[in-house]
């Protein structure tokens, strides 16, 4: 896997990102897991064979390598962060009763909920085992990793707590997504700085940049949950609607005309028709345009933080931001 990490001084072309993604996919598949008990390790192997975006370990590697971090440390930390992310997805899929993830049946759908809970626990323990293998600033890395993991759990708690609560404000929403998504993306850039021996000010700037980028990414993800298609997204669409999730779209739609929005959602069980009608409503009422403007505002904030980041890291993070936010899934 070290081959492409060593080349991080090159331009971050889409093809280069694909190569890094493939290397992390291979690294996950190659994790040495026991054969027994199969009740635990078969679902884990199933998860690791999925084809995710691997944006988090890629971001960590890009940041750390540009700062001079060792390839081995980036490998261990990168896989650990991806496992932490997968742990949250396995449990999130149970909580939301989603049927598909990365184009495959979710664990609780393929097996059952008890299996999925245990698999998620196992994935989290493996993430801790891997992050503990870093050689540079190991105690700080582990502490930072655990703090971010708890923030992600808090974000997920807010996500469930806010379901069907029509009094949730924009501010509430941003607190939720900052914890649920922002902290994990921020962890990637923060660890890159720590492993690259940066000073505390630069590490904090990297964390702030990552959290802002993560917030923009989650807003975009909420929009794509309605505007994309299930095949390109590789997961169930419309579950936010059926579960009463509080997304940027639903909050803005309620603010614009609560009665009309409720009327539109009164027949929510017909999910395909509901998504189509919501797309039309959100576009015709300018809500999609407002959300896109909001995403751009966060990108601008992230770019302001990058001014303080030394080269070549600044240029590479600028390129990475453009690549991941110019997506349709």
CATH number at residue 65: 1.10.600.10
Average pLDDT over residues 139-168: 95
Amino acid 299: pLDDT = 95
Amino acid 133: pLDDT = 97
3 state SS of 183: helix
The most confident of the ranges 98-107, 202-211, 248-257, 258-267 is 202-211
Note whether 127 and 80 are within 8 A (CB). yes
**Separation of alpha carbons 206 and 192, rounded Å:** 8
**How many structural domains does the chain have?**
1
**Tokens 């001084």, residue located:** 9
Q: Compute the mean pLDDT over every residue in the chain, rounded to the nearest whole number.
A: 89
Which residues are CB-neighbours of 269 under 8 A, at least 6 positions away? 242
What would the two tokens of residue 135 be? 């050689």
Amino acid 12: pLDDT = 80
Amino acid 324: pLDDT = 83
Amino acid 323: pLDDT = 86
Amino acid 265: pLDDT = 76
Which residues are CB-neighbours of 209 under 8 A, at least 6 positions away? 186, 189, 302, 305, 306, 309, 317
Given a cut of 90, whether residue 161 has pLDDT beyond it is yes
What would the two tokens of residue 108 be? 């609780």
Least trusted range by pLDDT, from 28-32, 125-129, 180-184, 239-243? 239-243
High-pLDDT (> 70) share of the chain, %: 89
Amino acid 266: pLDDT = 74
Given a cut of 80, whether residue 10 has pLDDT beyond it is no
DSSP string, 65-128: HHTT--HHHHHHHHHHHHHHHHHHHHHHHHHHT--EETTEE-HHHHS-HHHHHHHHHHHHHHHH
Average pLDDT over residues 101-110: 90
Given a cut of 60, whether residue 292 has pLDDT beyond it is yes
Given a cut of 70, whether residue 268 has pLDDT beyond it is no
Note whether 278 and 267 are within 8 A (CB). no
What would the two tokens of residue 329 be? 């899934």
pLDDT band at 242 (very low <50, low <70, confident <90, very high): low
The residue among 174, 186, 46 whose CA lies nearest residue 103 is 46
Amino acid 229: pLDDT = 65
Can the peptide bond before residue 37 be classed as cis, meaning omega within 30 degrees of 0? yes
Given a cut of 60, whether residue 236 has pLDDT beyond it is no
Average pLDDT over residues 240-264: 84
Given a cut of 90, whether residue 327 has pLDDT beyond it is no
3 state SS of 63: helix
**Separation of alpha carbons 85 and 90, rounded Å:** 9
Given a cut of 90, whether residue 34 has pLDDT beyond it is yes
**Tokens 């959300």, residue located:** 291
Amino acid 82: pLDDT = 97
CB atoms under 10 Å from CB of 156, counted, come to 17
Average pLDDT over residues 132-145: 98
Residue pLDDT, tens place only, 172-228: 999 999 999 999 999 999 999 999 999 999 999 999 999 999 999 999 999 988 887
What is the domain extent for residue 129?
2-325
Q: What is the pTM of this model?
A: 0.92
For residue 31, the number of C-alpha atoms closer than 13 Å in the C-beta half-sphere is 24
Note whether 211 and 185 are within 8 A (CB). yes
Residue pLDDT, tens place only, 77-103: 999 999 999 999 999 999 988 888 878
Amino acid 239: pLDDT = 60
């Amino acid at each position: 896997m070290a081959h492409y990490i060593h080349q991080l001084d090159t331009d971050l072309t889409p093809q280069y990102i694909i190569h890094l993604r493939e290397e992390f996919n291979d690294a996950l598949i190659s994790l040495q897991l026991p054969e027994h008990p199969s009740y635990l390790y078969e679902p884990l192997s199933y998860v690791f064979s999925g084809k995710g975006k691997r944006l988090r370990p890629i971001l960590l590697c890009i940041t750390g390598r540009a700062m001079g971090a060792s390839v081995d440390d980036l490998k261990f930390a990168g896989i650990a962060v991806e496992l932490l992310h997968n742990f949250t997805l396995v449990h999130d899929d149970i909580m939301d009763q989603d049927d598909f993830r990365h184009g495959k049946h979710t664990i609780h759908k393929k097996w059952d909920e008890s299996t999925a809970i245990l698999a998620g626990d196992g994935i989290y323990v493996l993430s801790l085992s891997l992050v503990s293998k870093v050689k540079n600033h190991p105690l700080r890395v582990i502490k930072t990793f655990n703090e971010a993991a708890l923030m992600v759990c808090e974000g997920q708690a807010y996500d469930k707590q806010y379901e069907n609560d029509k009094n949730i404000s924009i501010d509430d929403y941003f607190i939720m997504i900052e914890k649920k998504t922002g902290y994990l993306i921020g962890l990637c850039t923060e660890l890159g700085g720590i492993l690259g021996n940066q000073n505390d000010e630069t590490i904090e700037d990297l964390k702030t940049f990552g959290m802002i980028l993560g917030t923009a990414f989650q807003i975009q993800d909420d929009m794509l949950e309605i505007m994309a298609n299930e095949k390109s997204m590789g997961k169930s669409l419309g579950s936010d609607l059926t579960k009463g999730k509080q997304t940027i779209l639903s909050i803005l739609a309620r603010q614009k005309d609560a009665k009309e929005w409720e009327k539109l959602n009164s027949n929510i069980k017909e999910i395909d028709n509901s998504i189509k009608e919501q797309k039309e409503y959100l576009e015709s009422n300018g809500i999609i345009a407002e959300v896109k403007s909001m995403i751009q505002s966060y990108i601008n904030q992230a770019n302001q933080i990058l001014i303080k980041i030394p080269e070549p890291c600044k240029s590479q993070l600028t390129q990475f931001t453009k690549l991941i936010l110019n997506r349709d899934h």
